[in-house]
Structure 1
Amino acid sequence: MGKYRKLQQKRGWAWWVVVPIVKPVLLATTTHEWIGAEKIPATGGCILALNHVSHIDPLTAAHITWDYGRLSRYLAKSSLFKNRQFARFLRAAGQIPVDRGAGAGAFQEAVKAVNDGELIVVYVEGSITKDPDGWPMVGKSGAARIALETGAPVIPVGQWGAQNLLPAYSKKPNLKGRTKITMKVGDPVPLDDLRAKDHDVATVKEATDRIMAAIVGLVEDIRGEKAPAERFDPRAHGISGTGNPNKR
């Protein structure tokens, strides 16, 4: 665990509202171990690429980035923006709506944010993992495409523990004691050779595979186990890659 950094960025009104509420709740319900978090760039545009295990993940990701002096912006599903007042809050906090059927606008907004020096959090799987044992499943191309377009570093993060506080797709948190959340931050994913190529389907897939491999390696370190040789692919198992697979 490196030395925490002070926030240098200007935060909007939404951050002034949410931090005094959310951070004490997280401290009351969780303990945390941040490993290698000093590798999060102190300044400049970057993509923080994580695995996804719980709906509470955006809060714990915001916790680690806040501790290391950065505000985090997210690619959030567009349905969260349907309520006008909540949408106003999300926008004020810098969050970016993603329409899974037509994500071009979100991609351009994310690229602009990174080029403007901001930190973007991307859950590369696009949804909470459907792997029965919680391992990262196959990745989607968003983080890779943003990285190739901007030239910004991709910082991989493996995380584990949030699913014990709020299991996937559950609305009932486990409040018996404090849940340990572990995040391990890795070195930037090497993508320079791919940036020099045409950003075609094959190049984007290779970049995505490298990002996912880095994340999986970090999760293996945290769990002290080896991940399955082949990542879980929801389509191959006849289930949707997004949403609750148990909901009919």
Structure 2
Amino acid sequence: MVRRPVPTTVRVIRFFLRPLLMLVTRRDWQGMEHLPDGGFVLAPNHISHLDPFLISHFMLDNGIAPQFLAKDTLVGAKGYGWILRSAEQIPVYRDTEGAAESLRAAATAVEAGRVVTIYPEGTITRDPAAWPMSGRTGAVRVALMTGRPLVPLMQWGPQEILWPYAKRVRLFPRATIHIRVGAPIDLTDFADQEVTEQVLHDATDRLMNTLSAMMSEVRGEVPSTPRIDVHTLGKPKTNYK
């Protein structure tokens, strides 16, 4: 059963987009038994501009109305910004005083029984081999604020359709979208501690380590270079396809 009514905008997008996604992708979805009842934070790696559509496809097919924490520049944009707002996405004002208010809005939604998707990296990976980077602390903050589960979701395959920061879409041959939902991240050892920056970073490292391990299992390999620190990012690197 869907945890909350699906906004009309989302239903319209799904009506037109789902048949196309069914046509141009194969789906290898596993771990749905780890999706908790009630509200929780869903924390996926970020691998392509197509992520929101493919994750929403997965969520809707599993009875979850998608609600993302999205950059304020997207939600506030003309045209498609109205679509995001009417789809009830939550704007995040990153690196501003409004960031805390964004997380409170996300926490309120989770406490109300909704599922809020928060990309811990905060942006598409800049890793040349598309491995997860380090994470920002938003997803962990909301989970600790609410006491609700923090659920990792690993995806691999969207980059076959649209490589990070590339402009060329490749629909055929059909890409297989691998999605793995992991068991909720165990944060019990942090629950009774003061929520310091160190606690948040340690918990976020645990989340990112889990996502990397899940990806390693699907890809059959491990990263060959150190994890990129999201806090040191500049412009997208030029060695992307």
TM-score calculated relative to the size of structure 1: 0.89
Q: Confirm or deny that 1:78 pairs with 2:78.
A: no
C-alpha contact (below 8 Å) 1:159/1:222 kept by paired residues: no
Query: Which whole-Å deviations, capped at 9, do the CAs of 1:184-204 have from their partners, x for residues lacking one?
Result: 111110001201110011111
- AA aligned to 2:48 is S
Residue type of the partner of 2:21?
L
Within the candidate set 164, 169, 174, 1:173 is matched to 169
Q: Are the aligned partners of 1:159 and 1:184 in contact in 2 as well (CA < 8 Å)?
A: yes
Q: Which residue in 1 is equivalent to 2:11?
A: 16
* Cα offset, 1:183, TM superposition: 0.7
Gaps of 5+ in 1: 1-5
Q: 1:190 to 1:131 in 2, by over 3 A?
A: same
Q: How far apart are residue 156 of structure 1 and its match? A: 0.8
Which amino acid is the alignment partner of residue 132 of structure 1? P
8 Å Cα contact 2:120/2:137 also seen in 1:
yes
Question: How do 1:1-248 residues align onto structure 2 when only pairs under 5 Å count?
Answer: 6-7=1-2, 9-41=4-36, 43-102=37-96, 103-228=99-224, 230-233=226-229, 239-240=233-234, 244-246=236-238
Rounded to whole Å, the distance in 2 between the matches of 1:109 and 1:88 is 19
Uncovered stretches (5+) of structure 2, i.e. residues with no partner: none
Paired residue type of 1:224: G
Displacement of 1:228 in angstroms is 4.2
Contact 1:45 1:152 (C-alpha < 8 Å) held by counterparts: yes
Given residue 60 of structure 1, which amino acid in structure 2 is its aligned partner? L
Q: Is the 8 A contact 2:3 2:113 kept in 1?
A: no
Aligned residues: 237
Contact 1:161/1:181, CA 8 A, preserved across alignment = yes
CA distance in 1, matches of 2:18, 2:184: 28
Secondary structure of 1:135's partner? coil
Deviations 1:101-138 (A, max 9, x none): 32122111111111111101111111111111111111
Deviation of the 1:84 alpha carbon: 4.4
Deviation per CA, 1:133-190: give whole Å up to 9, x if none. Answer: 1111111111111111111101111111100101111232102221111011111100
Distance in 2 between the 1:130 and 1:85 partners? 28
Contact 1:50 1:159 in 2 (8 A): yes
Is 160-169 or 83-92 further displaced after alignment? 83-92
